[in-house]
Amino acid sequence: MPDNRGGLIRPRTAAGHYARLLSPNVLSAARVGLERDVTMRANRIANAVRVARRPGHTRMRGLIASPGGALRWRAVPSPAPPGPLGALVRPIAVATCDADRAMMLGRSIFPLPLHLGHEAVAEVVQIGAEVSGVRVGDRVVVPFQISCGQCTACRRGHTANCLSVPPTSMYGFGLSGGLWGGALADLMAVPFADAMLVGLPAGLAPTAATGVADNICDAYRQIAPHLPGLLAADPDTQVLLVGRIDDKDPLTSATVLFAALFARALGATHISVVDARPAFQERAAALGFQTLDPRHPRDWPVAALTVDATGTPAGLRNVLRHTAPDGICTCVWSMHRRGNIPLQAGYMRNLTLHIGRSHIRSHIPDVLDLMVTGRFQPELVTTNEASFDDAPAALREHCYGDALKTILTTQ
């Protein structure tokens, strides 16, 4: 059993992990993936299983997380040559997501074992006959959600709900994501290269841009759609970002710091952040943000723009109480079936509450533009870096230490 150096919780055993997957919250979440076109999802998974079992199929390395905190490079099926619209890419930098620690410890809703990694910058190594937007050798951001770019959802910018693939199709989430593989591998298959891949601008380091594939764009959508209008009405607009309120919570809170950096980049001067972990508080203070005690919510400001990243119904209710009249609250990473939301108070105060996932691909160009100009520097949140070869040890350090964001590279 791994040690508990950072004071964080231990990994679940296989028995504990699989028993937890039968809880009402997990079963409710699983049903979401079956709400549309069950046949499409079943066919996708069946095809992935057939490929994995095919005799003589070429193999590559992939980093697999198993119950009990086991992290190992294993031989996994190599992707097939790309179809006309697809591409093969070689990951060169992969970042941990805020959910990865919980997944690696078997303390998430996602069944183990699974192929890890979904925040990646990669090099294009092969393209299909109809691909025109990228070329072999290009460095690209690979959004973690699979999207075709052509369906009605994608044309509206709702790329997280692409209609050409099963719901919640994602890299790095194993069975729950549709078995699309993971970014911690020698190769990744991208089914819709022109729609998904975004070229890395010259001068941006791959290690800085890895999180753009998920957490960074998630943070951007929490702030950018709302803050400019609020600041135009009141330059002293308060922004309150509330992360995990339990210092033993397995999810990290890098996204909260990214959101604070976006708020600053877009002009906010009154930014408060809340999270129970000392490492988070130290990094937030070093970045110049006001850090508040999660145990004393009465000291939190009432803010026109709030973000609930607590992951609990009680946390959401608390954040809503600190959302100003006519204010906006974005709730992220809440996987509970019910939240007992104070509807009457929200109605009387004209609150706007947004609950849902980010449409990552739609936000990538705007985020990269902010990085090119130097207004947004996500590398300020990175705490650990290591090579692919050292990935198992580096990810164990991420799980049992105080890391916020770990970057793994092939260089």
- Nearest to 166, CA basis, from 191, 136, 201: 191
Cβ-count burial of 394 within 10 angstroms (0-12 exposed, 13-18 middle, 19+ buried)? buried
- pLDDT tens, position by position, for the chain (411 residues)? 343 344 567 899 999 999 999 888 788 777 777 777 778 878 888 887 777 777 777 899 999 999 999 999 999 999 999 999 999 999 999 999 999 999 999 999 999 999 999 999 999 999 999 999 999 999 999 999 999 999 999 999 999 999 999 999 999 999 999 999 999 999 999 999 999 999 999 999 999 999 999 999 999 999 999 999 999 999 999 999 999 999 999 999 999 999 999 999 999 999 999 999 999 999 999 999 999 999 999 999 999 999 999 999 999 999 999 999 999 999 997 777 788 889 999 999 999 999 999 999 999 999 999 999 999 999 999 999 999 999 999 999 999 999 999 999 997
pLDDT tens sequence across 345-399? 999 999 999 999 999 999 999 999 999 999 999 999 999 999 999 999 999 999 9
- What DSSP string describes 54-97? -TT--EEEEEEEETTTEEEEEEEEPPPPP-TT-EEEEEEEEE--
Residue 63's DSSP bridge partners are 73
**CA–CA distance, 154 with 151 (Å, rounded to integer):** 5
**CA–CA distance, 96 with 129 (Å, rounded to integer):** 33
Token couple for 308: 């609930």
**CA–CA distance, 2 with 205 (Å, rounded to integer):** 33
**CA separation (Å) from 212 to 62, 79, 360, 411?**
22, 24, 8, 19
**CA separation (Å) from 406 to 270, 340, 398?**
28, 35, 7
Token couple for 231: 């600041």
pLDDT tens sequence across 252-293? 999 999 999 999 999 999 999 999 999 999 999 999 999 999
**What pLDDT score does 153 carry?**
97
**CA–CA distance, 198 with 220 (Å, rounded to integer):** 17
Q: What angle do CA 73, 57, 93 make, to 5 degrees?
A: 40
**CA–CA distance, 132 with 336 (Å, rounded to integer):** 42
**What pLDDT score does 242 carry?**
98
What 3 state SS string does 18-31 have?
HHHCCCHHHHHHHH
**What pLDDT score does 144 carry?**
98
CB 138 within 8 A of CB 124: yes
SS3 228: helix
**What pLDDT score does 42 carry?**
80
What is the pTM for the complete model shown?
0.94
All domains of the chain, ordered by start, with CATH? Answer: 14-211+381-409 (3.90.180.10), 217-355 (3.40.50.720)
